[in-house]
Structure 1
Amino acid sequence: MSVEKSLEGKVAVITGGGRGLGKAVAAALIERGAKVVIGNTTESQGLATVEEFNTAAGAKVAAFKRTDITTYKDNIELFQFAEKEFGGVDIAYLNAGIAGNATDIIFMPPDDENDSRAVEVNTIGTMKGTKIAMLHLAKRGGGVIVTCSSTLGSNAVPSMSAYVTSKHGLNGWVRSFALLPQICNVRVNAVCPHFVETDMLVPNPDQLARGGPILNLVDKIPKTTVENVVNAVLLLIEDETRNAQTLLALPGDVIREQEATAPLPETFTPEFAQVMGSYAEDYVAFHKKELEDYLKVYEEKYGNKD
């Protein structure tokens, strides 16, 4: 059965798109008519995936650029590359992340690089990608950014403290953008899968050498499917009412919005409520001007010159 070309003419940038969830989302977007640009740290993997997509389509529907999402330089070059290849960017799926070094670092020897790695990639790397994606989508007239978080962005599992921390931070980042569409017509959401059957769940040699009960837990915990996660991502992309949401993709092919945290009644006073009445309007006006000014600076410094 053919799929409706609902994304015909759209261009998507996908980080971590060479395998797993990123590759599956890329395939779904291409099937719906989009062109995709894949950013991946492993060059051979990214090139092979792009060749696979282009060969199957009999046309150039995908392109690759090696990308380290922890640097602004690589994020900027990735989105510039997408503009050169396909004329602009409408969709960003910021999928790249790590799990292997994101365990209980509290019981390990102090290590500046290892202990900050999960937050550096999963949180800060995605924040950097969001910031650059927003500028390129705003230039295009708007679009949607979907980040890849986790059910552990709100819950916690002992033995995964660093990973849990990184995804809690990412969820807070996404929930901060309720007013962004009014500024630049860009929506930001997070897909929050439960444990998924991908190669990220396969223990690496260091994990196997360390051992511990987490290995048995991951083996037995219920999983969601790659297809269910892809469907959740597509929902966040195609449903224009969805913004600043953390959408759960759960076992049993369940997709549902995570319940919002209620405001704390102790934090509201009549004076504060009065200020909040005009806050949204003031916020939008202030940042519209900021974005307008900064886009000129960004284009002057980083815009494509050819």
Structure 2
Amino acid sequence: MPGRLNGKVALITGAGSGIGLEASFLFAKEGCKVVCADINEQAGQATATKINADIGANSAAFVRVDVGKEADIAAAVAFAEKTFGKLHIVFNNAGIMHPADDNAETTEEKIWDLTMQINVKGVWWGCKHAIPALRRAGGGSIINTASFVAVRGAATPQLAYTTSKGAVLAMTRELAVIHARENIRFNALCPGPIRTPLLMDFLNTEEKKQRRLVHVPMGRFGEAIEQANAALFLASDESSFCTGTDFMVDGGLSAAYVTPEGPTKTVSPQKNFSGV
């Protein structure tokens, strides 16, 4: 039975861990050839190697990419086309959340600039260099990872990160309008608080964790596989009439402001069906 991405080729940044790792396996299981891009060579190569071992030879390839460098992104797009012939899907997923990011008075300029370089310019460059490739393929889907903080703000100060994700959301909408008639779709995946190393390193105290969880109606952190499932929908032809959306996958956080007196029942996370 054909997979949901059968015959497609995808480039996924941040493929060495978290959402990117789960998405890489899930896309490959659905028949997609996956270019696993990551700045961490060991982690990114491990993802590609395991996909090829578990799903089938030549299902994935690794390319080292620092999304803070335009040349790396341009090279990754060229690598995808050279390796697998075409490029149909780009998941601009890689990003940073600096542990020293704080409010407007205390966030250092170097942290601000680094966050914008990776989270905003990195996504822009990912779109810029993907558009001609998708055009050559006859169209496709570009998914940019934003965040629920792009529309709600964060309970714990992280000004540079929040600002960068708001920029990603606005950029995605603009590009969706510009390229809508070219069969190139742009959507922003907006995760809620997810149990990934990136967020857990930032929420490095129990107090910080509870300040996030208290506002999530489901009462738990999300799992990376749940975001990967959402990305799969946006990548597939099932979402063919979806473009310019802020796809909220946030446990209900953006639906209502839940206070400490709100829902408190603990909910077990979804079983992880990934290949990792």
- For the aligned pair, the TM-score class normalised by the smaller chain equals 0.7 to 0.9
Displacement of 1:231: 2.2
CA distance in 1, matches of 2:119, 2:140: 22
Residues 215 and 229 from structure 1, CA distance in 2 versus in 1: closer, same or farther, beyond 3 angstroms? closer
Contact 1:130–1:145 (CA<8 Å) still a contact in 2? Answer: yes
CA distance in 1, matches of 2:63, 2:95: 17
Task: Provide, for residues 181-218 of structure 1, a one-character-per-residue CA deviation record: whole Å limited to 9, x for no partner.
Answer: 444321111110100111112226xx86xx79645524
Match of 1:137 among 128, 134, 146: 134
Displacement of 1:101: 4.2
CA distance in 2, matches of 1:168, 1:248: 13
Amino acid at match of 2:138: G
Residues 182 and 243 from structure 1, CA distance in 2 versus in 1: closer, same or farther, beyond 3 angstroms? closer
Contact 1:188–1:243 (CA<8 Å) still a contact in 2? Answer: yes
User: 1:175: which partner in 2?
Assistant: 173
Contact 1:228–1:255 (CA<8 Å) still a contact in 2? Answer: no
User: What stretches of structure 1 move > 4 A for 4+ residues in a row?
Assistant: 218-221
CA distance in 2, matches of 1:109, 1:6: 43
Contact 1:177–1:243 (CA<8 Å) still a contact in 2? Answer: no
Report 1 or 2 for greater relative contact order, CA contacts < 8 Å, sequence distance ≥ 6: 2
Displacement of 1:172: 0.5
Displacement of 1:229: 1.3
CA distance in 1, matches of 2:95, 2:7: 28
- What is the 5 A alignment of 1:49-198? 49-101=47-99, 103-108=101-106, 110=108, 112-157=109-154, 158-198=156-196
Contact 1:93–1:145 (CA<8 Å) still a contact in 2? Answer: yes
Contact 2:152–2:254 (CA<8 Å) still a contact in 1? Answer: no
Mind listing any 5+ residue stretches in structure 1 that lack a counterpart?
A: 257-306
User: 2:248: which partner in 1?
Assistant: 248
Residues 248 and 8 from structure 1, CA distance in 2 versus in 1: closer, same or farther, beyond 3 angstroms? same
User: 2:211: which partner in 1?
Assistant: 217
> How many equivalent residue pairs?
248
TM-score (structure 2 length as normaliser): 0.82
Displacement of 1:4: 4.7
CA distance in 1, matches of 2:208, 2:159: 12
Contact 2:38–2:65 (CA<8 Å) still a contact in 1? Answer: yes
SS at match of 1:203: helix
SS at match of 2:5: coil
What is the percentage of aligned positions where both structures have the same residue? 29
TM-score (structure 1 length as normaliser): 0.74
Contact 1:7–1:32 (CA<8 Å) still a contact in 2? Answer: yes
Amino acid at match of 1:36: V
Amino acid at match of 1:249: V
Matched, 1:15 2:13: yes
CA distance in 1, matches of 2:254, 2:228: 11
Task: Provide, for residues 196-250 of structure 1, a one-character-per-residue CA deviation record: whole Å limited to 9, x for no partner.
Answer: 111112226xx86xx7964552476642232321222122122110001110002
User: 1:229: which partner in 2?
Assistant: 227
CA distance in 2, matches of 1:229, 1:223: 12
Q: Out of 222-231 and 82-91, give the one that drifted further.
A: 222-231
SS at match of 1:126: helix
Mind listing any 5+ residue stretches in structure 2 that lack a counterpart?
A: 256-276
CA distance in 2, matches of 1:212, 1:11: 41
Displacement of 1:46: 0.7
RMSD over aligned CA atoms reads 2.4
Instruction: State which structure, 1 or 2, has the greater radius of gyration over its C-alpha atoms.
Output: 1
Amino acid at match of 2:148: T
Contact 1:225–1:251 (CA<8 Å) still a contact in 2? Answer: no
